Amino acid sequence: MTFFEKLGNLIFSKKTYLCVGLDPVWEKIPEHLPRTQEGLLEFLLMIVGETKDYVAVFKPNFAYFEVLGASGVEVLKELIQKIPQGIPVIGDAKRGDVGHTAQMYARSVFETIGCDAVTVTPYQGEDALRPFFDYTDRGVFVLCLTSNPGAVDFQLPDLHLQVAKKVQEWNVSGNAGLVVGATRSDKIAAVRKISGQMPFLIPGVGSQRGELKNTLLFAEDGSKIPYLINASRSILYASSGEDFAQQAGNAAKELRDQINLCRSFL
């Protein structure tokens, strides 16, 4: 089974499209937790524990671990090992480099760190993405239209559509997906039209306040394509008190339900 077949089964059996991003920031982590490698891991595992029933996947963001140096990389690896079996992990790494270096990055994310899927950047073209696609049992989400203001600089008006078209052509193993931001839901229909059945990873509905209903309408497009709605900060930092994990669980449940409710009225 490909990563996306597994993901589709999981979404339909567990009835959730939610992806929770794990972006730990010292300044936002509850004060009662120690500022150590152990404190960080404890914070994340408590979040995982309280949200796991509501998520399809977790998505740790590499930047927030790398900034802590080698010990951050150790926490990331241990975190992934301890995420319950059956919940896939997307390594949000936004990697992208030429041929041989891309092989090293792919090996690093999939083998050394142990992720089931990855985010990558398309600027350098096919030979920069191919080593990721070559891991045919893993998922590869290519940046297409991002949720940040700077998406207008190069991605719009046309580049994101060129990327969708090319990735669709390159997707011979059925393991490619696209990152499409919910803050630009008016553009998602066009990307869906070009990209056929490719799954979307959709950030921007939480703190960035993307528009949920249209996002779902255009991402789904009447078919049973798996896709993921990501939220990070709105769940991780739902509370900064001792009840942070419980509040994160509540926020995750609420967003899962909101997505499902929205879907049922599309």
Catalytic residue list: 94
Tell me if 28 contacts a copy of itself by CB under 8 A: no
Q: Of 139 and 203, which CB lies nearer to a copy of itself in the complex structure? A: 203
Tell me if 36 contacts a copy of itself by CB under 8 A: no
The contact mask relative to a copy of itself for 62-101 (x = CB under 8 A, - = no) is -xx-xxxxxx-xx--x----------------xxxxxx-x
Shortest approach of a copy of itself to residue 18 CB, angstroms? 20
Q: Of 16 and 119, which CB lies nearer to a copy of itself in the complex structure? A: 119
Which pair of tokens denotes residue 74? Answer: 């150790």
Tell me if 38 contacts a copy of itself by CB under 8 A: no
> Could you tell me the end-to-end alpha-carbon distance of the chain, in angstroms, rounded to an integer?
30
Using CB under 8 A as the binding criterion, the count of chain residues that bind a copy of itself stands at 51
CA angle, residues 53, 58, 61, in degrees to nearest 5: 150
* DSSP secondary structure letters along 177-224: EEEE-GGGHHHHHHHHHHHTT--EEE--SSTT---HHHHHHHHHTTS-
Q: Of 20 and 225, which CB lies nearer to a copy of itself in the complex structure? A: 20
The rounded Cα 147 to chain-centroid distance in angstroms is 13
Among residues 118, 54, 129, 123, the alpha carbon closest in space to that of 90 is found at: 118
From edge to edge, which strands make up the β-sheet containing 200-202? 57-60, 18-22, 228-231, 200-202, 176-180, 139-145, 117-120, 90-95
- H or E segment at 234? helix 233-236
Rounded Cα–Cα distance for residues 163 and 165 (Å): 5
* DSSP secondary structure letters along 102-146: HHHHHHIIIIIS--SEEEE--TT-HHHHHHHHTSTTSEEEEEEE-
Shortest approach of a copy of itself to residue 156 CB, angstroms? 9
Q: Of 72 and 249, which CB lies nearer to a copy of itself in the complex structure? A: 72
Shortest approach of a copy of itself to residue 235 CB, angstroms? 15
Tell me if 107 contacts a copy of itself by CB under 8 A: yes
Stated length of the chain: 266
Q: Of 159 and 262, which CB lies nearer to a copy of itself in the complex structure? A: 159
Tell me if 108 contacts a copy of itself by CB under 8 A: yes
Residues 126-185 that bind a copy of itself (CB under 8 A): 126-129, 143, 146-155, 159, 162-163, 166
Which residues are at the interface with a copy of itself (CB under 8 A)? 23, 61, 63-64, 66-71, 73-74, 77, 94-99, 101-102, 104-105, 107-108, 112-113, 121-129, 143, 146-155, 159, 162-163, 166
